[in-house]
A and B are shown apart, each in its own frame.
Chain A
Amino acid sequence: MNTTRGISPKYRNQAAGRVLTVLAAFFGHDRPRGVSELARELGFNKNMVHRALATLMSENFVTRDSSGELYQLGYRVLAFTVGEANAFDIVALARPYLEQLHALTAESVYLSIIVGRNRVTVDDIQAQGPRVLRSRRGDPVPLHCTKMSRVLLAHLSDCDVDDYLAAASPLKRTLAFPDPPSESRTGVWRDIRGIRAAPYVLWRNPHLSSAAYAILPVLDSEKRPHAIITIGGPRERFDLDRIETLLPRIAAILAPLESQARLFPAAPFLVEA
């Protein structure tokens, strides 16, 4: 966004225009700025910039940085209150799509994110009926355990995966049911390579005969994971054949969410947690 181009040089209130132009020049800069740098960028002389900064400082829109020599945005800007919450919140953003997926499949739908070294389900719509998939919202599951977790892990960088596996070693199994890939680094990496080869994962646990899943990542523009969406149900009515049939409609439902998600960076992965 060019926030400065709207100021006309012929504008009758030139002093106000200059001050607002200098303020707008802080947009997108996470490092403090100096008088010379601003003057060069805006085409003002240093004296003009200095006076504009003094005006902005008097109203706390700009403050000196900790060195005392440069300038940064002031705390007054923080007090701008806007009715909406965060501009990007994956839970709020994904909710309508979870509802559409549940309406399409009539099965349980989950939204899960990375929190520390775990996968955590933060929203869900549970199917109704005598036999449905159940999963407790909020329970942390290590990123190497379960196919769902490993889909999130697979979309981290190789370096992040290595760091995670080093920090999580010895790899603990926290599950009551068999999950052989989670038992060794080799097994985790082999599974990750398989997951990365496909845009989504259809899965049923070969060691059980209960449920089948479609696991779909929601990624940012650098293919880092915001979240996964999982649709799961009992195999007698939601086996892989049925999921394959529904996939084009599932993809169509999720396309707008994927577009929106690409506009925002995913949260950083912090292996130390």
Chain B
Amino acid sequence: MSSSAARALRILAAVGDSGRPMGVTEIARAIGTAPGTAFRGLDALQRAGLLVRHASAPRYGLGPAALGLRQTLLALFPIRDVCLPYLRQLASASGEATSLHVRIGWYSARIATAPGTAEVTSAASLGAAQSLSADAAGRAILAFLERNQAARHLAWASARGIAIPVALERDLAAIRARGYAQGRGEGGVAFPICLRDQAFASVAVEGSGPLEAAPLREWGEIAHAIQAVVSANPAFARQPFQHLDPDEIVLPS
């Protein structure tokens, strides 16, 4: 493998993961190389349109080619286009930002959002990934996988030193019983989207205040409508990475 190519990809990953423009020194530190060496990788990435150098400050952010690749990848999830109108309806009904999360390995990744309409609402970044047990969106998926999958997830998380929430098994049982997951400290509520009783995605109303029965029923009906669409069109559940071994998938979280 070319070390210059691998270094350029690690630079791209560092800038892409940060979600903000980075300077040369900061990038060099992030990938463990000298600034001069990092600069050569930055040059190659700029030439390919994957990074851009901001005119106002010597910092680098994702370029049009990188953003285009991400859009290309998002388009590989047909559930995304299906869900967007429902996310908007849910955002309108709740006032909160809403989002669609898909399972990728042992993570849930946010692949679509609709902004909230309330005066105070959550900011939800696309692409953000969390371990399936970390938040309501992931636990809504984890609870509706085959029982042995939860055990595999726990083994995977333990092997990587990822913290497991206290009383996870009891929480998953409660989610299965009521049909949705509630956030703990992070707030929010999430509804699973299943194909043949196996969850592959979830729809979340991001962090919000105390939950009441009435809006939950209304939100649940919207999630149920998405579920009906998927049940009638199983192709919408197609995912580009479901053939990969989940234990091998590693995402920054």
Contacts and interface: CB of A to CB of B under 8 A. Distances in A.
In which size bucket is the chain A interface?
A: 35 or more
Contacts of A267: 81, 84-85
Interface stretch (B111-119, B139-147, B178-186, B194-202): B111-119
Given A73-B76, A78-B127, A89-B114, A21 B229 contact: no
A206 interface: no
Interface stretch (A22-30, A99-107, A178-186): A22-30
Given A17-B48, A27-B68, A90-B88, A72 B9 contact: no
B56 interface: no
- Most chain A beta-carbon contacts within 10 A, residue among B67, B72, B82: B72
Contacts of B48: 3-4, 6-7, 17, 20-21, 23-24
B40 A13 contact: yes
A123 B240 CA distance: 34
A115 B86 contact: yes
Contacts of B71: 87
A60 B10 CA distance: 11
Interface residues of B, number: 83
A251 interface: no
A200 interface: no
Contact of B88 (A28, A63, A113, A272): A113
A80 B16 CA distance: 4
Contacts of B229: 116, 270, 272-273
A75 B109 CA distance: 10
Nearest to B129: A79
Contacts of A19: 2, 5, 8-9
Contacts of B8: 13, 16, 19-20
- Most chain B beta-carbon contacts within 10 A, residue among A18, A23, A24, A81: A81
Contact of A17 (B47, B62, B93): B47
Nearest to A226: B85
B13 A59 contact: yes
A85 interface: yes
Given A16-B8, A78-B104, A138-B93, A85 B115 contact: yes
B5 A52 contact: yes
A138 B215 CA distance: 11
A187 interface: no
A209 interface: no
Given A60-B249, A270-B233, 6 more contacts: A1-B68, A91-B114, A140-B89, A267-B84, A272-B228, A273-B225
Interface of A: 1, 3-4, 6-8, 11, 13, 15-21, 23-24, 26-30, 51-52, 54-56, 58-61, 63, 65-66, 72-73, 75-83, 85-87, 89-92, 113-116, 120-123, 137-138, 140, 267-268, 270, 272-273
9 contacts: A19-B8, A24-B69, A26-B69, A27-B65, A61-B12, A75-B104, A83-B123, A86-B113, A91-B88
